[in-house]
């Protein structure tokens, strides 16, 4: 995906600088001090050795949270079936009508497959949306809320306001449009992260 507000362009464009060996060494030095690892991105499920990496992290006694855009439902299912994940955060980037304009990716149906899998699984998870009010408005968020509700989502729904501390993929600026939280639907419990 190429979300304009993404603040990790070096990871998205495969310019990461940490080796697996360095990561594992870092974790070994923090056993007993840290409890969990968050695998994020870009998109962590694009990493070709993710199953093996998760196994090595688990062997060192850490819990694992996966942040995902949901575009790899088969790998997501495999990681859960192997008990390699303790928590999943799935990014509901935009309603289907705006999915491509926000992500530059046409795989809404693949994302939806991951979301439905999580809804019907036993793993702890959350759905969240990054809000840049020039890109998504109250109607868009209401569409997401209604879709989640109709699919049986019964957890907190998180709206995280965009953070623009660094360069983003789209060189995007702070939002100019006001977002009125009072106009949002009430079917889900909505929590805000800033």
The pLDDT tens digits for 182-193 are 999 999 999 998
Of 88, 125, 93, the closest CA to residue 106 belongs to 93
- Residue 16, token pair as written in the block: 């990461």
- Going along the chain from its start, the domains and CATH numbers come out as 9-193 (3.20.20.70)
Which has the higher per-residue pLDDT, 6 or 46?
46
Burial class (CB in 10 A: 0-12, 13-18, 19+), 17: exposed
pLDDT confidence of 162, banded at 50, 70, 90?
confident
Phi, psi of 114 (to 5 degrees): -65, -45
CA atoms of 125 and 160, how far apart (whole Å): 16
Which has the higher per-residue pLDDT, 143 or 5?
143
The pLDDT tens digits for 90-144 are 999 999 999 999 999 899 999 999 999 999 999 999 999 999 999 999 999 999 9
The pLDDT of residue 166: 66
Q: Collapsing DSSP states into helix, strand and coil, what is residue 192? A: strand
Candidate from 6-20, 48-62, 76-90, 134-148 with smallest mean pLDDT: 6-20
Taking residue 133's Cβ as centre, other Cβ atoms within 10 Å add up to 18
pLDDT confidence of 34, banded at 50, 70, 90?
very high
Decide: 184 and 142 in contact? Cβ < 8 Å.
yes
Those residues with Cβ within 8 angstroms of residue 192's Cβ, 6 or more apart along the chain or in another chain? 158, 159, 160, 161, 181
Mean pLDDT within 64-75? 97
**Pairing between β-strand 63-68 and β-strand 157-161 as defined by DSSP bridges:** unpaired
Mean pLDDT within 141-164? 94
Q: What is the mean pLDDT of the chain?
A: 90
């Amino acid at each position: 995906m190429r979300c304009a507000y993404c603040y990790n362009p070096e990871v998205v464009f495969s310019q990461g600088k940490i080796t697996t060996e360095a990561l594992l060494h870092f974790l070994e030095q923090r056993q007993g001090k840290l409890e969990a690892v968050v695998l994020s991105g870009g998109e962590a499920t694009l990493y070709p050795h993710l199953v093996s990496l998760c196994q090595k992290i688990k062997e060192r006694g850490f819990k694992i949270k996966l942040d995902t855009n949901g575009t790899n439902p088969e790998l997501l299912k495999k990681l859960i079936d192997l008990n390699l994940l303790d928590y999943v955060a799935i990014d509901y980037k935009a309603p289907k009508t705006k999915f491509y304009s926000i992500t530059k990716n046409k795989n809404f149906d693949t994302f939806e497959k991951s979301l439905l899998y999580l809804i019907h699984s036993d793993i702890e998870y959350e759905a969240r949306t990054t809000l840049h009010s020039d890109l998504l408005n109250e109607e868009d968020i209401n569409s997401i809320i209604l879709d989640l509700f109709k699919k049986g989502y019964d957890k907190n729904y998180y709206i995280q306001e965009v953070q623009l501390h660094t360069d983003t993929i789209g060189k995007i600026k702070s939002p100019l449009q006001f977002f009125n939280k009072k106009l949002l639907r009430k079917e889900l419990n909505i929590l805000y992260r800033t």
